[in-house]
A and B are shown apart, each in its own frame.
Chain A
Amino acid sequence: MKPNLKLYVVLGAVALMAMPSVAQKTPTSMVAAYDSLAKIILNVRQAEEDLVRAMLDGHYHGAKAYMKQGMYNEAAAEMALFANEGDNAVAGIRKRLVEGGHHHNAAGEEQGIYEEGYVLVTREAKKEMLASSTAMRQAKDDVAREAAWKEFAAFAEETLAE
């Protein structure tokens, strides 16, 4: 057994001796740059999510402000934009991303939970919030408006909290 053990040790030493020269072929600066890029790639989804969250937050607060001012059609418009994760300009960007192969919620899309390209708003939440927006437009009195707002706000806050 001893000769074999000695052989392994020798081979191991050869291997150890060879490693530094292999590592040196990729300059440290490029490895560092690649490491930075990897962090960026891995953080892109989070950045997208944060951006969409900020966008939705804007629509939510816009809707709240219009409600306070008694501008109910405008509030309903903001509610619809929350439900749709932005207006048609955003839909255009979403379309480009999807066509470029970027699916933020690919698994959710396959299960029918999210619309294609949607980041935070689920299909169910979207449907309910659009219904609330319509109800807000059609509301004849404050009781109906309050009911529509409560329904919307519950889904909106749940979406923003996730």
Chain B
Amino acid sequence: MAVTIPTIASGSSPPYFVDIAAEAGVVAPTWCGRDDKPHIMESNGTGLGLVDYDADGDLDLYLVNGWRLDGAEIAERGRDVLYRNEGQGRFLDVTEKAGLGSDAWGSGLAAGDANGDGLLDLFVTNFGTDVLYLNRGDGTFEEHPDSPNLEGWSAGAVLFDSDGDGDEDLYVGGYIECTLEEVLAEKPSLVWEGLDVMLGPFGLEGLGNKFFRNQGGGRFEEATAEAGLEDVGLFYTFGILAADLDGDLDLDIYAANDSNPNYLYSNDGGVFQEVGLWSGAALDEGGSAQAGMGLAAGDVESDGLVDLLVTNFQQDMSTLYRNLGDMIFEDVTRSVQLGGPTFSLLSWGTTLSDLDQDGDLDIFVANGHIYPQADLVADKVGGGFRQPNLLLVDQGGTLVDVSAEAGPGLAVEKVSHGLAVGDIDFDGDLDMAISNVDEPPTLLRNDTKEPGTFLLVDAPLAVRVEAALGDDRWIRHRVIGGSFLSVNDPRFHFGFGDKRQLESLTLIWPDGFRRRLLDVPLNHALKIER
């Protein structure tokens, strides 16, 4: 069935990005094992986050870091890095000052207010013990004395209020069971395209996902089974997001599982039911499980329903699931022509965002292979270890690859995994931070020459924001987590093309409370309390 992604507004030029990481001072490499990557742990890469940790109104950058190995030895325990946004396109490493800099083998990041004090706390998933960092409010953090954790190779995580009790609960995804000793001793043992490469994930035991309910004040108790969130298949979970997928205003959970059906948990008052297979969002249109890595969610058609995007392995397509309502999804990958541009890439972090502010949602995908050996067969399989990232915009109802025209930032070829999206330079458009395996991050500043008008809405805990002008509607939904183990700017971002003013802006909170603003001027950042 054909699906139309509407081009509601015009008046913008194609997106254009410039990599400013080096000049901005974002230079720390993020490590992930050895050069030849003999163990699947070394395929993980790391997440990152655009978070306003000091509540000064701009987005700072948290980099999760892994380890560098040399043979069976640990060559360097990479430390997580916190960069404070200094304005003027500069970031300053404030890791030590903030009391951060874990040297655990890091994986992903979640952000939220874990102890209800109004400050942004950080939860870092690790290969080993996960850590919840509580924000003291003076620019420093302290480790939670009894941090919830998965104790193993944990991946994506989300902090969100699952049960409407006002505090944030925690759901953490596990990838596989393995030990450091196994990682250090591993040799390539799988034959792929005639080459010896890392084994997995098939043949390895999955690590179960867990849910921790906040008992108040940041005291967490595991409640996985009680909440209906058991990882029944012990699937290999990477990306996780929380969003209102069935329109009942509470947040449901979607989890990307590598090589297995994705999980979709429908939330009913803090108790979940796994409906992945029958919802249509667990498998592709042919009924096959894909190698789910990253996730994005957004209202592609502005019909009030959150659609889902999943990135997958090379020689397979990223998948766009159109939300038909009642928790029913349809794979529309082919009809929107997402398949072709994504087939040759091994894809990770992703977003559904209006990058050119023309009113519809575009797609950005971070890419890179897991096998360095892919370079030897790059022509055959369609791409090597380092791969270009991908930018797709909607043109007349189909997605068009504009990467080649999208500036020097899109010409960068690295092994990109984590992706965080947000406005780092206060110009209203969306920039992107990307983590790269064994290299410093890429920081893509959005320099679109003639972007459409915009609105940035900071409305804590609102679940949906609807903009209206005449018959046109633009709807943005709260999406927590997603991408690949990364944290995006939590503000609602809208693009409106050549429109200059809105008739109304309606904000909706999980309890149904609504606030409506009339005659809203554009090109502003708004902070709206309920």
List 25 A-B residue pairs with CB atoms under 8 Å apart, sorted by A's residue number.
A73-B326, A76-B278, A77-B279, A80-B280, A83-B287, A87-B276, A87-B278, A88-B233, A88-B235, A88-B274, A89-B232, A89-B233, A91-B277, A91-B289, A92-B233, A95-B233, A95-B260, A99-B202, A115-B287, A127-B286, A133-B280, A134-B330, A137-B326, A138-B324, A138-B330
Contact B328 A76, beta carbon cutoff 8 Å: yes
| Neighbour of B274 across the interface among A80, A87, A98, A115, CB < 8 A | A87
Contact A84 B324, beta carbon cutoff 8 Å: no
Contact A88 B277, beta carbon cutoff 8 Å: yes
A130 within 8 A of B: yes
Contact A137 B260, beta carbon cutoff 8 Å: no
CB of A103 to closest CB in B, whole Å: 13
A81 within 8 A of B: yes
Closest to A87 in B: B277
A126 within 8 A of B: yes
CA of A76 to CA of B326, assembled, Å? 12
Closest to A134 in B: B330
Number of interface residues of B (CB under 8 A): 27
Closest to A130 in B: B287
Contact B324 A137, beta carbon cutoff 8 Å: yes
B261 within 8 A of A: yes
CA of A97 to CA of B46, assembled, Å? 31
For window 324-339 of chain B, which residues contact chain A by CB distance below 8 Å? 324, 326, 328, 330
CB of A64 to closest CB in B, whole Å: 16
Contact A99 B287, beta carbon cutoff 8 Å: no
For window 56-89 of chain A, which residues contact chain B by CB distance below 8 Å? 73, 76-78, 80-81, 83-84, 87-89
Q: Mark A132-152, 1 if CB is under 8 A from B, else 0.
A: 011001100000000000000
Chain B residues touching A, majority SS: loop
Contact B261 A88, beta carbon cutoff 8 Å: yes
Which residues on A sit within 8 Å (CB–CB) of B202? 98-99
Contact B277 A80, beta carbon cutoff 8 Å: yes
CA of A78 to CA of B288, assembled, Å? 18
Given contacts A76-B328, A91-B260, A92-B234, contact A84 B277 (CB under 8 A): yes
Given contacts A83-B287, A88-B261, contact A95 B235 (CB under 8 A): yes
B133 within 8 A of A: no
CB of B154 to closest CB in A, whole Å: 19
CA of A5 to CA of B276, assembled, Å? 77
Which residues on A sit within 8 Å (CB–CB) of B330? 134, 138
Q: Mark A94-132, 1 if CB is under 8 A from B, else 0.
A: 011011000000000000000100000001001100100
Q: What is the interface of chain A, defined by CB distance below 8 A to chain B? A: 73, 76-78, 80-81, 83-84, 87-89, 91-93, 95-96, 98-99, 115, 123, 126-127, 130, 133-134, 137-138
Closest to B283 in A: A84
Which residues on B sit within 8 Å (CB–CB) of A93? 233
Which residues on B sit within 8 Å (CB–CB) of A89? 232-233, 274
Which residues on B sit within 8 Å (CB–CB) of A126? 287
Given contacts A76-B278, A77-B278, A84-B277, contact A92 B328 (CB under 8 A): no
Which residues on A sit within 8 Å (CB–CB) of B288? 115
CA of A9 to CA of B23, assembled, Å? 99
B282 within 8 A of A: yes
CB of B101 to closest CB in A, whole Å: 38
Which residues on A sit within 8 Å (CB–CB) of B275? 77
Contact B287 A91, beta carbon cutoff 8 Å: no
CB of B352 to closest CB in A, whole Å: 22
CB of B467 to closest CB in A, whole Å: 29
CB of A65 to closest CB in B, whole Å: 15
Closest to B282 in A: A88
Which residues on B sit within 8 Å (CB–CB) of A76? 278, 328
CA of A134 to CA of B277, assembled, Å? 12
CB of A30 to closest CB in B, whole Å: 34
Contact A92 B235, beta carbon cutoff 8 Å: yes
Which residues on A sit within 8 Å (CB–CB) of B235? 88, 92, 95
Which residues on B sit within 8 Å (CB–CB) of A81? 277-278
Which residues on B sit within 8 Å (CB–CB) of A123? 287
B57 within 8 A of A: no
Name 4 extra pairs, CB < 8 A, besides A77-B275, A89-B274: A80-B278, A91-B289, A92-B233, A98-B202
Contact B278 A92, beta carbon cutoff 8 Å: no
CB of B484 to closest CB in A, whole Å: 22
Q: Mark B312-330, 1 if CB is under 8 A from A, else 0.
A: 0000000000001010101
CA of A91 to CA of B278, assembled, Å? 13
CA of A83 to CA of B232, assembled, Å? 19
Which residues on A sit within 8 Å (CB–CB) of B234? 92, 95-96
Contact A73 B282, beta carbon cutoff 8 Å: no
B175 within 8 A of A: no
B203 within 8 A of A: yes
CA of A89 to CA of B202, assembled, Å? 17
Contact A127 B287, beta carbon cutoff 8 Å: yes
CA of A53 to CA of B279, assembled, Å? 23
CB of A56 to closest CB in B, whole Å: 14
